[in-house]
Chain A
Amino acid sequence: MKIFYIIISSMLVNNFVLSRFLGICSFLGVSKKTDTAFGMGLAVTFVMALASFMSWIVFNLILVPLHLEYLYTLAFILVIAALVQFIEMVIQKTNPGLYKALGIYLPLITTNCAVLAVAVINMNENYNLLESVVNGVSAALGYFLAIVLLSGIRERIDNNKNMPEALKGFPITLITAGLMSIAFLGFQGLLQ
């Protein structure tokens, strides 16, 4: 039951983008087209799952026994950066198609605050390994959902000829994202 609670919570109620406001940079930057948004979503899901796994291991098996919890930010950044680089190399070798699809998004994720945040949240909530990974994946799926939804809306908005000149581009995107965020508030009552 706790697993289910975590999934719904981090995917919808505490959606990383629309209610925690993490990863906004890539959320706005890579949401012009649905297929690139899709690729970014996939890449984030992939990295977040692995990052929550690795950061849990590093935190609970290295930092906690040595009483070095205060070094978690440093350690997590180290883990995530190395992990993303490693994954990039492996994918480039084993699956060039996927590598091309993910493209520049993989290295971009290295510095995405959402990935660091998921590791920190796992730590603060004292999740066990399984819960951490589930939290990572569902948070990433929440990101995936948000970015794909926004890109779909943006594709329609960009074709709208009646758009006032002053609102074209980022202004209307920010308004859209704000409205989406308000809409996601509706999920707040889901788990009470």
Chain B
Amino acid sequence: MGNISSYLNPVLSLGGLGLLFGLLLGYASKKFAIEVDPKIPMVRDALPGANCGGCGYPGCDACAKAIVEGKASPNACPVGGAEVAKKVGEILGVSVEAGEKNVAFVKCKGTCDKSKEKFIYNGIMDCRQATQTPGEGSKGCSYGCLGLGSCVKVCAFDAIEIEDGIAVVNEDKCTACGMCVAACPKDLIDLVPASKKVRVQCNSEDKGKDVRSYCEVGCIACNICQKTCRFGAIKVTNNIAQVDYSKCTQCMECVNKCPTKVISGLIAKK
């Protein structure tokens, strides 16, 4: 056997085998193709394709299948929101009332200058790690945002930034996939209706006096907002004011009356 054939034979034989099997499989995939509902790939194309799992299914493929099979509603994708729901509705031939767009909202206003630190933290720059330290992190308030950015790391849409020591959501980019909600060890992030701007930007369940001692902009549970509200939309429970978004008319009374300015309103920065 010549030199050349000792090189060529393995290449040709294995390459040929591979080609043969490839052709066979290609032919088989055509010949034995099973009819999937043509709507499934169409719906799949309409979905954002982020595979974030925000809908509760393992990914966009599974979600598309569930939508077409009727197991999930056409507006199941929280990321796509109204736009995608409309497209999916067109494919399925049903009208979809678009769900209210939600956004993530960080319930803390305690920037570096407004809240005190208990100690200097030099550990791993991750909220989950920092929460393991005594006192649950270096922030004076054990409920507040540590600003180490665990939420930033999980956000697939680049919608969260740390500004001045606290996480701030960019509502234009936020898709309400819920990844940051799960990532925050302090349970600070809520999904709230994007159109409702009156939100309590504090999570502290400490008494007013304690809050005062470590944060200038915390909820001190003074009940003024509750008394001010004519619609019964804001209530103080567990030393923290909470807005009932279905009742709030955004009249801004509570925003203006709040002594610590912890209720953010329309005029508030993003």
Listed in ascending order, the chain A residues whose CB lies under 8 Å from chain B are: 58, 62-63, 66-68, 71, 74-75, 78-79, 82, 85-86, 89-90, 92-94
Q: Are A78 and B21 in contact (CB under 8 A)?
A: yes
Instruction: Determine how close the nearest CB of chain B comes to the CB of A89; give it in whole angstroms.
Output: 4
Instruction: Give CA–CA (A112, B261) in the complex, Å.
Output: 64
8 contacts between A and B (CB under 8 A): A63-B13, A66-B10, A67-B1, A71-B10, A82-B25, A85-B25, A89-B32, A90-B32
Q: How far does the alpha carbon of A94 sit from the alpha carbon of B31 in the complex, in Å? A: 11
> Complex: how many Å from CA A89 to CA B13?
25
A63 nearest in chain B by CB position: B13
Q: A66-B9, A66-B13, A93-B34 are in contact. Are A78 and B1 (CB under 8 A)?
A: no
Which residues of chain A are within 8 angstroms of B32 by Cβ–Cβ distance?
Answer: 89-90, 92-94
Q: How far is the CB of A161 from chain B (nearest CB, A)?
A: 35
Say yes or no: B28 contacts A68, CB within 8 Å: no
Q: Is the interface of B mostly helix, strand, loop or mixed?
A: helix
- Are A58 and B17 closer than 8 Å at their CB atoms? yes
| A68 to B33 alpha-carbon distance, docked (Å) | 36
Any chain A CB within 8 A of the CB of B24?
Answer: yes
B7-41, CB under 8 A of A: which get 1 and which 0?
00110011001100110110011001110000000
Tell me the complex Cα distance, A62–B22, Å. Answer: 18
Which residues on the B side are within 8 Å of A86 (C-beta)? 21, 24-25, 28
> Is the Cβ of A78 less than 8 Å from the Cβ of B18?
yes
Find chain B residues with CB under 8 A from A82 CB. Answer: 21-22, 24-25
Bound together, the chains give a CA A58 to CA B24 distance in angstroms of 16
Q: How close is A25's CB to chain B, nearest CB, in angstroms?
A: 23
